[in-house]
Amino acid sequence: MAFTVKDFEDLLRILDRYPHWREELRRRILLEELEQLPRAHRRLSVRMGRIEKALAALAETVRKMAQDQRRHATALTKLRKEVAEARAEADRRFTELAEAQRRTEESLAAHRAETDRRFAELAEVLRRLVERVDRIEQDVGTLKDHDLRRRYAELAPSYFGGPNFRKVRVLTPSELVNRLLAALDEGKIEREDFEEARRIDLVVRGEWEGRTLHLALETSWTIDRRDVERAVRRARILQAILGETWPAVAGSRLTEGARELLQQIREEGQAIVVAQDGGIEWPS
């Protein structure tokens, strides 16, 4: 991976913002780092190799997701075509029934019974088609949510790591459950709190300006008011167990209700983190 002009300009802006970093960098470059260059080069080569492998794996995952989405899109197109054909068939049958009713009054009762039967069949067909479309749309939404949660779990250090938040990692499910069970046994939380907190999507741990901080992260492709409420509620429970914990939400977009609640939380002086498409909005 080449070091670009943009990377250099970003480095210059960071050094301008933190002068003491610039002095430290100059000292280390001119004195200590000269002796460490060969070893640093070897470490960098190893890390670059790992990053390239991770990027290749991510590219493969993205490719597979794209294939899945194309398959779902094809299925949706086919179903919509079937719905249109069924509706056209229904219109044709309705016309036939109306004409048959007009031709003879003597068989009115029979025609009505036949009409009712056909209506019921067509309604059932349409109902099943609508259910299939709804299920596919729900499955696509679930796949998006699962992929989003996986991305934030795998790339948490890349997404959240920075000058203020360091040594970032995601607690494993077993780590979280063990801490919750210990707190439950010690009477720090109730059974309801245990059940609530263990359903958190991810818990991200790191050092915020030198102190340990956890993020109670709720992920959803579309972040709504309920996602924000869950993050706040679960962060409050985890704080009693893990120490300082901030609620956090991550997704592709925010609903208007979520925006309003986030604004209210910030106005009350509470810390909350918002991640959209990998960009992080930290508390001011």
62-77 pLDDT, tens digit each: 688 767 677 766 766 7
Q: Single out the residue of 165, 174, 148 nearest to residue 204, CA to CA.
A: 165
State residue 171 phi and psi, 5-degree precision. Answer: -65, 135
What's the pLDDT band for 18 if we cut at 50, 70, 90?
confident
Q: Contact, 214 vs 204, CB < 8 A?
A: yes
pTM above 0.75, yes or no: no
Say what the pLDDT of residue 20 is. Answer: 76
On the CB side of 93, how many CA atoms lie within 13 Å of its CA?
A: 18
**DSSP element (H, E) containing 275:** strand 273-276
pLDDT in tens, 219-274: 999 999 999 999 999 999 999 999 999 999 999 999 999 999 999 999 999 999 99
Residues 124-145: what's their mean pLDDT? 59
What's the pLDDT band for 102 if we cut at 50, 70, 90?
confident
pLDDT at 141 over 60: no
Q: Contact, 239 vs 181, CB < 8 A?
A: no
Q: How far apart are CA 130 and CA 80, in angstroms?
A: 9
Q: CA 69: distance to chain centroid?
A: 16
Higher pLDDT residue, 56 or 190? 190
**DSSP element (H, E) containing 12:** helix 5-17
